[in-house]
Copies of this chain bind each other. A is one copy, B any other.
Amino acid sequence: MLNRVILIGRLTRDPELRYTPSGVAVTQFTLAVDRPFTAQGGEREADFIPIVTWRQLAETCANYLRKGRLTAVEGRIQVRNYENNEGKRVYVTEVIADNVRFLESNRDNNGGAAPREESPFGGGSGGGNRGNSSGYSRNNQDPFSDEGKPIDISDDDLPF
């Protein structure tokens, strides 16, 4: 009835952009969020929280977010489930984001992977392929071709 999540953390890897069979953009990444207390032993732990974004927001995230970047995410908790290879039901909890804030510009943080775009509001190579950073065109790609795991993304998951 009400379901609201706000997180600030850092990406553990570059985001992954894919497309559903019907061509809708989806980007997934994981946010490492430090816990507000230290574990016994004094080490600070983190929660690794899977984030999913759809459509235009997915393309923006794929273009501008990179591993290590401090990022704020607003969204809702969603619990999916599917049957795995052994016929067992597996539950997957993700945050479906509807608002993502880039708290570090590209200038601030240049460790990790090289940015695919020069600047958050900079040029890009123009044209219709913007946002599809896989190098495949939107029509003949197979976004899941390199995936060993069961395909767990479909148009049925579309939140709106």
Contact = CB atoms under 8 A, between A and B. Distances in A.
Given A37-B160, A47-B78, A70-B103, A5 B5 contact: yes
Nearest to A73: B2
Interface stretch (A6-14, A15-23, A58-66, A130-138): A6-14
A79 B8 CA distance: 15
A24 interface: no
A97 to B, nearest CB: 12
A56 interface: no
Give the oligomeric copy count: 4
Interface in A22-55: 33-37, 39-40, 47-49
Nearest to A81: B48
Contacts of A99: 2, 36
